[in-house]
């Protein structure tokens, strides 16, 4: 017990951030499941963080309703943003969501209620490690169930081929919007928890680099199952600490090491770290395929 307490005292904030980043990575995973490349999830997290923070700081709302609002408002924003933007595909969608991220950041810098460039301060520190991991567990369970549902299969076939999916009778636009909204709500939840962990939320907390990080978590971890983004987020969040442990100063070379890991994963594990655990497709497909070749 003593060891555990000591361990948490040293690595507590790392453990919290692994949980929050995993939750954010999962939020993007839902969007990616339909093949939508969104760079807006960091902005949805910012929206959730500010919403929840403003509600507790300025309106003295209790924690739980504030957190709920922090998930719901980004969801509504995703509907408004998604209606026009989800007609775009690939990089164009990425550009549009990126622009949304900038809008959120600039709004946060210039509005009074968000505290401007210095950020929103004095947020009560209510978030606990168990809350983060409870939220993560629920989100992971939700994503796992979602993937096996009618909606999940629909999203998967939209990712494979939108025209084919339309021919199967899948309501493409509705499903894409739904996935986008679910992703935004999960991101908002993570942001709201973060705000109540960190006392403070600033416009820089969920900028462009975070948006890209979320994508990297998914690519490194693998997008095909819920544990992929969780593994990716855990590895890359813990990486600076691991590097420090083995005597490498993390700061400046962190991006370089991230890039190297990304490169290695893309080259050798195209389906991400998750494929180390479970390779159902490769296993079932190989015997017959190799039999054919022989």
CA 84 to chain centre: 22
> Does residue 160 interact with other proteins by CB under 8 A?
yes
Q: Which of 76, 95, 129, 156 binds other proteins (CB under 8 A)?
A: 156
Binding mask 169-208 for other proteins (x = CB under 8 A): xxxx------------------------------------
CA-based nearest residue to 57, from 191, 186, 200:
200
Give the binding-site size for other proteins (rule: CB under 8 A): 21
C-beta separation of 75 from 184 below 8 A: yes
- Residue entry with tokens 């929050």: 20
Given a contact cutoff of 8 angstroms between Cβ atoms, the answer to whether 73 and 50 are in contact is no
Binding mask 224-263 for other proteins (x = CB under 8 A): ----------------------------------------
Q: Judged by CB under 8 A, which of 58, 102, 145, 161 binds other proteins?
A: 161
Task: Give min distance, CB of 164 to other proteins, in A.
Answer: 4
Among 19, 154, 191, 228, binds other proteins (CB under 8 A): 154
Based on the shown chain and the rule CB under 8 A, indicate whether residue 37 belongs to the binding site for other proteins: no
CB of 28 to other proteins, least distance (A): 19
- Binding segment toward other proteins, per CB under 8 A, in 2-10, 93-101, 163-171, 176-184: 163-171
Q: Of the candidates 136, 27, 134, which has an alpha carbon nearest to the alpha carbon of residue 75?
A: 27
φ and ψ of 205, to 5 deg: -60, -35
Distance CA 228, CA 225 (A): 6
| Alpha carbon separation from 270 to 5, 67, 128, 129, 153 (Å, rounded) | 38, 36, 35, 32, 21
| Closer by beta carbon to other proteins, 95 or else 162 | 162
For residues 54 to 93, the per-residue mask of contacts with other proteins, x marking binding by CB under 8 A and - elsewhere, is ----------------------------------------
Residue of 115, 86, 84, 81 lying closest to 100 (CA atoms)? 81
């Amino acid at each position: 017990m003593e060891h555990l307490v000591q361990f948490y005292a040293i690595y507590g904030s790392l453990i919290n951030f692994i949980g929050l980043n995993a939750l954010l990575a999962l939020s993007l995973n839902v969007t990616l499941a339909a093949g939508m490349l969104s760079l807006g999830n960091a902005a949805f997290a910012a929206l959730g963080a500010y919403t929840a923070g403003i509600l507790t700081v300025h309106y003295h709302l209790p924690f739980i309703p504030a957190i709920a609002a922090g998930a719901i408002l980004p969801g509504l924003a995703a509907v408004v943003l998604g209606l026009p933007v989800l007609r775009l595909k690939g990089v164009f969608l990425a550009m549009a969501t990126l622009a949304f991220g900038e809008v959120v950041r600039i709004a946060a810098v210039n509005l009074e209620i968000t505290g401007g460039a210095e950020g929103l301060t004095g947020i009560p520190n209510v978030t606990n490690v168990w809350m983060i991991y409870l939220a993560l567990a629920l989100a992971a369970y939700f994503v796992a169930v979602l993937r096996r549902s009618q909606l999940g299969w629909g999203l998967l076939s939209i990712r494979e081929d939108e025209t084919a999916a339309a021919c199967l009778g899948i309501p493409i636009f509705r499903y894409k919007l739904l996935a986008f909204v679910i992703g935004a709500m999960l991101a908002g939840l993570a942001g709201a928890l973060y705000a109540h962990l960190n006392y403070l939320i600033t416009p820089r907390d969920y900028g462009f680099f975070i948006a890209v990080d979320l994508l990297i978590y998914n690519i490194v971890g693998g997008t095909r199952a819920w544990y992929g983004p969780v593994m990716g987020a855990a590895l890359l969040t813990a990486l600076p600490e691991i590097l420090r442990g083995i005597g490498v100063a993390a700061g400046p070379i962190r991006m370089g090491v991230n890039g190297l890991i990304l490169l290695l994963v893309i080259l050798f594990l195209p389906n991400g770290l998750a494929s180390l655990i479970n390779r159902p497709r490769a296993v079932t497909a190989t015997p017959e395929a190799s039999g054919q070749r022989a």
